[in-house]
Structure 1
Amino acid sequence: MNKQELNRSEINNINVQIMKIQVLLWVMALFFIAQSCSSSTSKQQAETGSESVLAVEDSIITGAAQTEAYVPYLQGKRVGLTINHTSTIGGKLSMDSLLALGVQIVRGFGPEHGFRGDASAGAKINDEVDEKTGVPLVSLYGKKYKPTKADLAGIDVMIFDMQDVGVRFYTYLSTLHYIMEACAENDIELLILDRPNPNDGYVDGPILEKGYESFIGMHPIPIVHGLTFGEYAAMINDQGWLANGITCKINVIPMLNYYHGKPYTLPIPPSPNLNTQQAILLYPSTCLFEGTDISEGRGTMHAFSMVGSPRLKGKYDFSFTPESIPGMSENPKHLDKACYGLDLRSYDTDVFKETGRINLSWLKELYEAYPDKDLFFRDSFKRLAGNDKLAQQIRDGVSVEDIQQSWEPGLSAYKELRKKYLLYN
């Protein structure tokens, strides 16, 4: 490592520490605000009983909900919003809530599924004007993934607030990357309103290898990464993953009452096909079937909670038939054909946290039962897996334990690296 690289590494490390101090100060300030508010209602709390008081104190408060922590800072600034339907404040889309609080929003930016989350997976989205507010909306899942200089003209601060699911191939991670890059190139501060990671109880999967980067996986991380957006942004900066090693000025509004691994049921489905908590927790394991001939349940109301194929008829009793569902899956795999396979709707998802592992046995089982082995894997599988090894290991009959062992030492190295960016201990 030369002197210039060493200096940059030292600077990045200092920036991470500064961000952690800023977060700590935010938490301390919000704690004292909460204490002040609670003192005026202590008599009422005592009358309601200790259990209800503990329930309130233990509930997670998202960054977005803490308007007192950031709205004053936004006064007099021109604001851009990178959000979707999961960004809510007081039960309303944050666009509407922030406008009502006097924030000057000049432009909105929408990811996959759109600004209000009603577009099918993979559907390209055009720029438009928000009908309710009249604010211009720029699509980041149509002609481009990254805002242009013109898109960012007149913006002083960009807000990023969306619900993640903690999985490498969920495209909102890539949207965060490109927003950070565009903000860094145009000297715009990025304000991240942090939200929980529902798949936060473990870290697992192969590390994405060089040469397999795509919009469903841009960075050398495992399938289940174990970070919130606020923490992940710090990793992106510090690891020099933005173009030309530039860094983005980020300010994270942390959650209150959150810790890694804390159970959290999402109040709003993060995307149309992740419409149940069961699907969200199964997603790290069952999304791999998207890169195969096996249906992952798209075209039903239980996507990612059932898997099967017409070619498995006679080998499984359970079946489902994918249909065209507007706004969810308009042209799903094996449309209108009965698919036979596994029903995972009642699977005990606590197993993932208990074992610290995604489930590869379903992939192995259905491959072994599948009659036309050459048709099982599709080209997209290697982008989901982050390498070309996993498919070959399944073909070769390698055991689950040996496949997991092949992820070392990369997985352990990532787990150690991750500790550097944790804001919630």
Structure 2
Amino acid sequence: MSDFDFIPAGIAICDPTGVITQLNATMLSWLDSSDKREFIGRPFHSILAPAAKIYFETHIRPMLMVEKSVQEISIEIMAPASQRIGVYLNGQVESSETGEPIALHFALFNGQQRYLYELELRERRRAAERHAALVDASPDAIINLDADLKIIGWNAAAITLFGPKEQAGVDRSFDSVFESTSKRAELMQALEALKQTSAWRGETEFLDVNGEKLPVEINASVVKNEFGVFAGVVMVVRDIRERRQSEEMIRMLNSEIIHRSNNQFAVIQAIARSTARYSEPQEFIDVFTQRLYALGRSLKLLNERTNNATDLRDLVALQTSHLGPDHTSRIQISGAPLNIAGKTAEAVGLAIFELSTNAVKYGALSEKFTKSGRVLINWESQDGQVLIRWTESGVEGVSAPTRNGFGSRLTGQLLERTIRGKVHADYNPNGLAWSLTLPEKHLIGI
């Protein structure tokens, strides 16, 4: 068999009258034969379907003799067992030096095979279009490099990061997008090493469309040709500025958490020591636990707010809520909205807790003054100063404590020292009048 027999198209050579003189193996396979002699000497139209025979003799062969060639004419050949095979016929007249026809050459392409081939091409084209759409829709920059590490293509995200094709990127060396020589050398060395491996991942810095530093994460994969030889690199480049900012924010938050935890440990330690110093052993656990709960309520309220601040009214209501409705119904809270945060909120919250606890034990909220005892908690802001008042009324025989316990220190010296304010306590015969004055600027972020 010769190369002529391995051509994937059916080949037939005829004399000028249309008598077959040669067929290749492909044509014989369609005719379910392996012997050329079975067909040589027969008219070409004898292998065609009935309608195709007429069309060949009345149209195709006359046209071929006049035009000297015909192309892509759809006809059917007749295989054994009356099986028809649709083909596309192409014909060419071979002429002598004098212009006389000496042979007719026909090439027939299997219509079913072509249909399947074209169907596969269409599917591959659609797949390529879908892939291209996915690449362009990717939020990450995708860059295609050739074997010389020259940029030969990139997607829409890359244009956003590095600029349009005519401005930067395509058709230029990849190392020109780097921010510094050291970064360039580092990554180019890694890409060179890729030729011997298959993938690489790392972080570096590029220059963005505005010429500013751009931290990126790179995932690079090798592209090889049909012979398995290195042909280029496809890179997915992710802008990690937001991630870097998030990481920095996490580091700051961790530092803040550690700082606040240390502060809380110090506060708890101070509460424990002072409670132990001014309490009887049998009541220490109860008093200490109540004060920790008071501190915890303030912290919980602050953490529920995104800016670590809360309204003073909410703080006061929370720190008196443990008293129960019989007592809170005798408390009046009055004041304009006022944000309070940080150490200020914690310290004021503990002070309100101590004042309310003492009022239940000895003052206006005690059982002795159930009918007459009242508490007014109000505040006002004026000339850059905030004045918070706790005023008890409806009591008799109130006098200053003979012992300066931890509760008194929480509402006095410790409070002043913590939030840089001024406390005044007046034990009037009608009840305690307590006030705290501090600059407005100390309310937030202390």
TM range (shorter): under 0.3
Which structure features the higher share of strand residues? 2
TM-score normalised by length of structure 1: 0.21
**Higher share of residues assigned helix:** 2
Structure exhibiting the larger radius of gyration computed from Cα positions: 2
Higher relative contact order (CA 8 A, sep 6+): 1
